[in-house]
């Protein structure tokens, strides 16, 4: 069994925000395999189950809010006896340009409070997909306002047409043991 754990904030006020890119990725995966999310209060998460190449996969969207996601992560891992290396954390990354994805195993939180919470609750060795959200407006507003802001129309189109399909493929690679490349630039921002 594998766990794909997306970082984000629950509730309609946060739908479509940059900080919910982990949730968007999991929703795309669930749609692809015909799974739906249901609330599991003991896990502090919305959970969907699916199969990828015969492997059972849990998709989890914590209901704890972003900065406390490790509580949900720990509850799920303890219940299913999952090792951190059998878990993939999908999250937005303020330090990377929009459309850039970095895959890694473990590491520091680099100032990301959601990852800080995951690490605190035993996820230091988890695999990660860090998805860049920075754009030209990044330097004009504060971090909180930026990550809680919504994607531009151009970014939303790139997400739907290019980025989310590639992220789904990278999640499949995690499940099947084909490790994604260290870094991907999923869109051309030079134009």
For residue 108, the tally of other CB atoms under 10 A from its CB is 10
Q: Rounded CA gap, 118 and 186, in Å?
A: 26
Query: Do the Cβ atoms of 52 and 59 come closer than 8 Å?
Result: no
- Among 19, 91, 121, 184, the one annotated catalytic: 19
Could you tell me which of 34, 41, 47, 39 has the C-alpha nearest to residue 6?
47
Residues 6+ apart with CB under 8 A from 169: none
| Coil, helix or strand at residue 126 | coil
Strand partners, 150: 17
For residue 19, indicate whether it is catalytic.
yes
State the residue for tokens 């939180």. 109
Catalytic residues: 19
């Amino acid at each position: 069994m594998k766990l794909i754990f997306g970082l984000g904030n629950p509730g309609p006020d946060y739908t479509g925000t940059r900080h919910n890119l982990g949730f968007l990725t999991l929703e795309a995966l669930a749609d692809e395999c015909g799974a739906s999310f249901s609330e599991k209060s003991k896990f502090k998460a919305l959970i969907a189950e699916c199969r990828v190449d015969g492997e059972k996969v849990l998709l989890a969207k914590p209901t704890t809010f972003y900065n406390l996601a490790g509580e949900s992560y720990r509850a799920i891992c303890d219940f299913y006896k999952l090792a951190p290396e059998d878990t993939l954390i999908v999250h937005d990354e303020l330090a990377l340009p929009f459309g850039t994805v970095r895959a890694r195993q473990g590491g520091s939180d680099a100032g990301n409070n959601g990852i800080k919470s995951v690490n605190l609750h035993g996820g230091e060795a988890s695999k990660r997909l860090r998805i860049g959200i920075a754009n030209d407006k990044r330097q004009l507003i504060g971090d909180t306002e930026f990550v809680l802001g919504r994607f531009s129309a151009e970014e939303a189109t790139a997400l739907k047409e290019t980025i989310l399909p590639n992220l789904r493929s990278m999640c499949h690679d995690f499940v099947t043991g084909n490790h994604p490349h260290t870094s991907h630039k999923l869109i051309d921002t030079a134009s």
